[in-house]
């Protein structure tokens, strides 16, 4: 089938590339000439694990190309996906400007019988709205369907290749049949994928309901974690006790510094806004967002409290800027709230992230320092704050922290470090929903001049066995 995908962001590019490797003839369109030029040269505009290989494979087979010319691509396509951004507007509602422009850009050229598929996350009723825009422009009806996307940044390729479900919001059987045919290779290869056909309005609501529910799980566990801190309970024990209940499960119940990203914050607010526009009351939805905004202030508060309310002149390292591991996306990331607060308080900030540094630099410019190597960011620092649970941070060895930084203070905003190791290493260790660990002594300054012992240098290897590692550290 000939397919056009409008928008080459996280959703559009992944969708286009996966459909292309499955044999469809795909053209990806973007208004951003620089992105398209880069894609033609094999440079991806985003980081997403494995996406470079999928794109390269599809291009080498001749199934995927890139253009800024939406009309020409749409003119020969059987299916036209709209996968542009639907960001939050000032009122909190979804801003449909990009979607409307994208729809207009293909309206007159889409051939009769083509299906326009909204993949962007949109308020209930958008399907009708876009169908009207297209009809007003081209003078005849074109089928507009909804096919919400459930991929997660960081695992987008795998999610798209192996989805839990495909939702088709269609007005008639023909549109459903064509889309089912388009997805037939995916349905055949996916491990356990269900296909549901429904009205577009239900498809639109399904996406919002799913995202709001996941956001609610995060806000819920964060609220319980905050209570734990005041009640001498340990959230990690509570989580184990709670999540082993099969009715509850483990997913999206990790306490942390708050959720971010391009979806949860705006989608929760968009549904609240849509409900309010109808005079509806959405107490749960509003609270999810409020709890999350409060949670984003938790790490700045912990840092400030440790330094007795004054971080002026303190050098703070921040590891992890992306809103979650596996992505370079920093939209609404809690790291931004933290850095803003530290700078406001007069601290010096040095940062590291494996993928998101360019994006954070676009916000903070020369106000902070950037390090390609994570330990370089620690140099002469008074404290480290971990804001994203990248794999490469999880094995942080307390003795290496002490060696590279000025102090022995760590804030674990994702409960991803090994608390046991730090408990034996005389560190001030703060996490979420757990009692802080306090160091009994300050490390002597002269210790910084020693070269690390062989034990210390090899500690990360040793730490692969936590029990043994704890002993090694205790003896250093
Ligand atoms: N990012 C995710 O994890 C995710 C997951 C599921 C659903 N969604 C939803 O999918 C939609 C897209 O999200 P995204 O993260 O891929 O967005 P994005 O911002 O990464 O990409 C959007 C792309 O569309 C392009 N664009 C904008 N207007 C255009 C036009 N008129 N013609 C051609 N290109 C145009 C932009 O230049 C950009 O490259 C949103 O509605 C989002 O809520 C996102």
179, 253: one domain: no
If asked whether residues 328 and 419 sit together in one domain, one would say yes
Instruction: With beta carbons less than 8 A apart as the criterion, state whether 392 and 323 touch.
Output: no
- Identify the domain boundary among 268, 295, 322: 295
Hey, how many other C-beta atoms are within 10 angstroms of the C-beta on 174?
Answer: 12
Number of other CB atoms surrounding residue 213 within 10 Å? 12
Q: Is residue 304 part of a domain?
A: yes
Is 397 inside a domain boundary? yes
pLDDT of residue 450: 43
pLDDT of 465 reads 35
* CATH number for the domain that contains residue 287: 1.10.1040.10
Side-chain half-sphere exposure of 64, counting CA atoms within 13 A: 30
Distance (Å) from CA 67 to ligand 1 centroid: 16
Cα-to-centroid distance, 6 and ligand 1 (Å): 9
Residues in a beta bridge with 94 = 88
pLDDT of residue 167: 98
Residues with Cβ within 8 Å of residue 251, at least 6 apart in sequence: 217
What is the rounded CA–CA span in Å between residue 69 and residue 133?
20
pLDDT on residue 441: 52
User: Strand runs (DSSP E) across 301-433, as ranges?
Assistant: 315-319, 348-352, 369-370, 383-386, 409-412, 428-430
Are residue 71 and residue 153 in the same domain, yes or no? yes
Question: Which residue is closest in CA terms to ligand 1's atom 31?
Answer: 102
Tens-digit pLDDT string for the chain (476 aa): 999 999 999 999 999 999 999 999 999 999 999 999 999 999 999 999 999 999 999 999 999 999 999 999 999 999 999 999 999 999 999 999 999 999 999 999 999 899 999 999 999 999 999 999 999 998 888 999 999 999 999 999 999 999 999 999 999 999 999 999 999 999 999 988 999 999 999 999 999 999 999 999 999 999 999 999 999 999 999 999 999 999 999 999 999 999 999 999 999 999 999 999 999 989 999 999 999 999 999 999 999 999 999 999 999 999 999 999 999 999 999 999 999 999 999 999 999 999 999 999 999 999 999 999 999 999 999 999 999 999 999 999 999 998 899 878 999 999 999 999 999 888 999 999 999 998 865 444 444 444 443 433 333 333 333 333 332 233 22
Q: What is the pLDDT of residue 274?
A: 97
Residue 366 lies in a domain: yes
Buried b (16+ CB within 10 A) or exposed e, 130-141: bbebbeeebeee
> Does the Cβ of 96 fall within 6 Å of ligand 1?
no
Same domain, 148 and 114: yes
Is the same domain home to 8 and 137?
yes
Tell me the angle at which helices 283-296 and 298-306 cross, rounded to the nearest 10 degrees.
30
| 352 in Cβ contact with 371 (< 8 Å) | yes
Q: Is residue 154 part of a domain?
A: yes
Q: What is the CATH number of the domain that holds 357?
A: 3.40.50.720
Question: Quick one: which of 69, 66, 74 has its CA closest to 36?
Answer: 66
Which residue out of 28, 263, 381, 416 is catalytically annotated? 263
Classify residue 313: in a domain, yes or no: yes
Q: Is 263 a catalytic residue?
A: yes
Residues 281, 163 share a domain: no
**Domain boundary residue among 261, 278, 295?**
295
- If one counts the domains in the chain, the total is 3
120 C-alpha to ligand 1 centroid (Å): 7
Q: Same structural domain for residues 30 and 145?
A: yes
Does residue 342 lie in a domain region?
Answer: yes
Q: Whose CA is nearest to atom 30 of ligand 1?
A: 102
- Residues 53, 144 share a domain: yes
Read out DSSP for 31-57? S-HHHHHHHHTT--SS--TTHHHHHHH
**8 Cβ closer than 6 Å to some ligand 1 atom:** yes
Calculate the alpha carbon distances from 213 to 88, 252, 301 in Å: 19, 10, 27
Both 315 and 260 in one domain: the answer is no
* Ligand 1 pocket check for 153: Cβ under 6 Å: yes
Same domain, 248 and 305: no
**Cα 229 from Cα 431, distance rounded (Å):** 10
What is the C-alpha separation between 193 and 162, in angstroms, rounded? Answer: 7
Domain range for residue 447?
A: 297-475
* Cα 371 to ligand 1 centre (Å): 29
Which of 279, 295, 311 is the last residue before a domain boundary? 295
Domain identity same for 121 and 59: yes
> 151 alpha carbon to ligand 1 midpoint, in Å?
13
What is the residue whose two structure tokens read 């939209």? Answer: 331
Q: Is the CB of residue 14 below 6 angstroms from any atom belonging to ligand 1?
A: no
Give the number of the atom of ligand 1 that is nearest the alpha carbon of residue 7.
Answer: 24
Q: Pairing relation of β-strands 165-169 and 194-198?
A: parallel
Query: Do 313 and 237 lie in a common domain?
Result: no
Residue 203 located in a structural domain: no
Indicate whether residue 101 lines ligand 1 (CB < 6 A). Answer: yes
Nearest-atom number in ligand 1 for the CA of 45 is: 39
Q: Where are the alpha helices (DSSP H) in 108-247?
A: 126-138, 156-161, 173-182, 184-189, 200-231, 235-243
Candidates 89, 92, 130; CA nearest to 275 is 92
C-alpha angle 29-208-291 in degrees, rounded to nearest 5: 120
pTM (two decimals): 0.91
In-domain check, residue 41: yes
């Amino acid at each position: 089938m000939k397919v056009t995908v409008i928008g080459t962001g996280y959703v559009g590019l992944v969708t286009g590339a996966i459909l292309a490797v499955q044999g469809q003839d795909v053209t990806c369109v973007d208004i951003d000439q620089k992105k398209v030029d880069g894609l033609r040269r094999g440079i991806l505009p985003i980081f997403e694990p494995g996406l470079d290989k999928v794109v390269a494979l599809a291009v080498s087979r001749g199934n995927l190309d890139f253009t800024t010319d939406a009309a020409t691509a749409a003119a020969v396509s059987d299916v036209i996906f709209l996968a542009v951004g639907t960001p939050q507007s000032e009122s909190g509602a979804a801003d449909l400007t990009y979607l409307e422009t994208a729809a207009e850009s293909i309206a007159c050229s889409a051939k009769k019988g083509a299906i326009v598929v909204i993949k962007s996350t949109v308020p209930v009723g958008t399907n009708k709205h876009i169908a009207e825009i297209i009809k007003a422009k081209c003078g005849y009806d074109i089928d507009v369907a909804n096919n919400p996307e459930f991929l997660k940044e960081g695992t987008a390729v795998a999610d798209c290749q192996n989805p839990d479900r495909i939702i088709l919001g269609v007005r008639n059987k023909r549109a459903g049949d064509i889309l089912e045919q388009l997805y037939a290779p995916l349905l055949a290869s996916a491990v356990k994928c269900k296909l549901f056909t429904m009205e577009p309005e239900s498809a639109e609501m399904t996406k919002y309901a799913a995202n709001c529910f996941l956001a609610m799980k995060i806000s819920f566990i964060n609220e319980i974690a905050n209570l734990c801190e005041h009640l001498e309970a340990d959230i990690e024990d509570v989580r184990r006790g709670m999540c082993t209940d099969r009715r509850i499960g483990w997913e999206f119940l990790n306490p942390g510094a708050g959720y971010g990203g391009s979806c949860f914050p705006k989608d929760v607010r968009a549904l609240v806004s849509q409900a309010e526009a109808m005079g509806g009351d959405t107490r749960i939805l509003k609270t999810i967002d409020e709890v999350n905004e409060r949670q984003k202030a938790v790490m700045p508060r912990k840092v400030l409290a440790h330094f007795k309310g004054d971080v002026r002149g303190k050098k703070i390292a921040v590891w992890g800027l992306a809103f979650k591991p596996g992505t370079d996306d920093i939209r609404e990331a809690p790291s931004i709230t933290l850095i803003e607060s530290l700078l406001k308080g007069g601290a010096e900030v040095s940062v590291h992230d494996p993928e998101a540094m360019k994006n954070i630099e676009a916000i903070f410019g020369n106000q902070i320092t950037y390090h390609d190597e994570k330990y370089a960011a620690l140099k002469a620092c008074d404290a480290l704050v971990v804001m994203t649970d990248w794999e490469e941070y999880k094995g942080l060895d307390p003795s290496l922290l002490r060696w590279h930084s000025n102090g022995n203070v760590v804030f674990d905003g994702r409960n991803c470090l090994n608390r046991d190791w730090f408990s034996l290493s005389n560190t001030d260790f703060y996490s979420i929903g757990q009692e802080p660990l306090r160091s009994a002594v300050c490390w002597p300054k002269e210790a910084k001049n020693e070269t690390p012992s062989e034990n210390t240098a090899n500690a990360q290897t040793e730490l692969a066995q936590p029990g043994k590692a704890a002993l090694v550290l205790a003896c250093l």
